[in-house]
Amino acid sequence: MKNKRVVFMGTPEFSVPVLEMLIEKTNVVLVVTQQDSYVGRHHELKMPIVKEVALKNNIEVFQPDRIRDNYNKVLEAKPDIIITCAYGQIIPKILLEIPKYKAINVHASLLPKLRGGSPLHRAIMDGYKETGVTIMYMDTGMDDGDIISQESIEIKDDDNVKSIHDKLSIIGRDLLLKTLPSIFDGTNERIKQDYKKVTFAYNIDREEEKLDFTASAREVYNHIRGLYPYPIAYTTLNGEVIKICESRIGDNVKAEVSTISNIYNDGIGIKCKDKEIIVTKLKPSGKNEMSAKDYINGKKKENLLGAKLC
């Protein structure tokens, strides 16, 4: 595969194992990624990690604001194939058709379920029992191309976005490596998606980060781990925004829904529709993440018990 000219498109850390494998096994002639952005409290300009990997390997980097309006650099690279993984933009039709082996995508879900930009978060938040990676041909719609190959994993009860991210990034790399030879020799499968089974994983908005304790404890638990370690679910206590990092499901208790029902040695019990959700790790506004035990030690227990969360 070393003679195959590859244009790779990707942006976040999830894309890195795929790119590193392609650099080793193929001829990556161009890396396309999102533009550098300002991050953090100090508003520092930072390049995408995919760009760092490309530059380290002396590969040209292209960072268009909108690939749909500025794609000539990709055409000039004369790719045999375009491979995308969490790039973050819709690819124009001309780029899907020009390469000999077309354009394929490494998508972090078992399509047709969870099309879109937040499949890792949604799989956990929506209570899925499994997820996985799909290698697919790209089409003009959002993740609606034909399926080439898939591999699934169980979502365990203690998984969060980080653990699923790390597992799937490696699975994506290995599955692509296993699938590429069949794409190049024309023996790969090409399975149409069942449109009756389509679900979507739209990007998480700020309102969805807020916890709703009128839901069941299981739903709240899934919501918390489905948003950790980014962007992190939150609630408001006595006017202060508190991000909730980790929790466990407790027992049924007699208390008003959405209030602090118990203080434990290692956690804060909050009454949900059915049971308690016990918060064990949190991040107060302007502070670092801490254990619930440390948070409790800095508060008066009587000021916490019965307090309303909103």
For strands 130-137 and 103-107, give the pairing. Answer: antiparallel
The answer to whether 262 and 307 are in contact (CB under 8 A) is no
One domain for residues 232 and 260? yes
pLDDT value at position 186?
A: 95
Consecutive H or E run containing 150: strand 147-154
Structural domain containing residue 180:
5-197
pLDDT value at position 104?
A: 98
Residue 310 three-state SS: coil
pLDDT value at position 299?
A: 82
Q: What is the DSSP secondary structure assignment for residue 195, as one 8-state letter?
A: G
Q: pLDDT tens, 216-230? A: 999 999 999 999 999
Indicate yes or no: pTM above 0.85: yes
| 164: Cα within 13 Å, side-chain hemisphere | 32
Domain boundary among 197, 219, 253: 197
Q: Has residue 111 got a pLDDT over 90?
A: yes
The CATH number covering residue 278 comes to 3.10.25.10
Residue corresponding to tokens 């299981």: 218
The answer to whether 134 and 92 are in contact (CB under 8 A) is no
Q: Has residue 40 got a pLDDT over 90?
A: no
pLDDT value at position 189?
A: 92
The CATH number covering residue 107 comes to 3.40.50.170
One domain for residues 186 and 47? yes
Q: Has residue 300 got a pLDDT over 80?
A: no
Write the burial class of residue 220 (CB in 10 Å: 0-12 exposed, 13-18 middle, 19+ buried): buried
Q: pLDDT tens, 121-152? A: 999 999 999 999 999 999 988 999 999 999 99
Q: pLDDT tens, 55-72? A: 999 999 999 999 999 999
One domain for residues 17 and 83? yes
Q: pLDDT tens, 157-216? A: 999 999 999 999 999 999 999 999 999 999 999 999 999 999 999 999 999 999 999 999
Q: State the Cα angle at 108 between 232 and 117, rounded to 5°.
A: 55
One domain for residues 30 and 121? yes
One domain for residues 19 and 107? yes
Structure-token pair, residue 244: 């909730």
pLDDT value at position 41?
A: 72
Q: What is the rounded average pLDDT of the residues 26-36?
A: 97
One domain for residues 228 and 190? no
One domain for residues 118 and 39? yes
Rounded to 10 deg, the angle between the 16-25 and 161-185 helix axes is 30
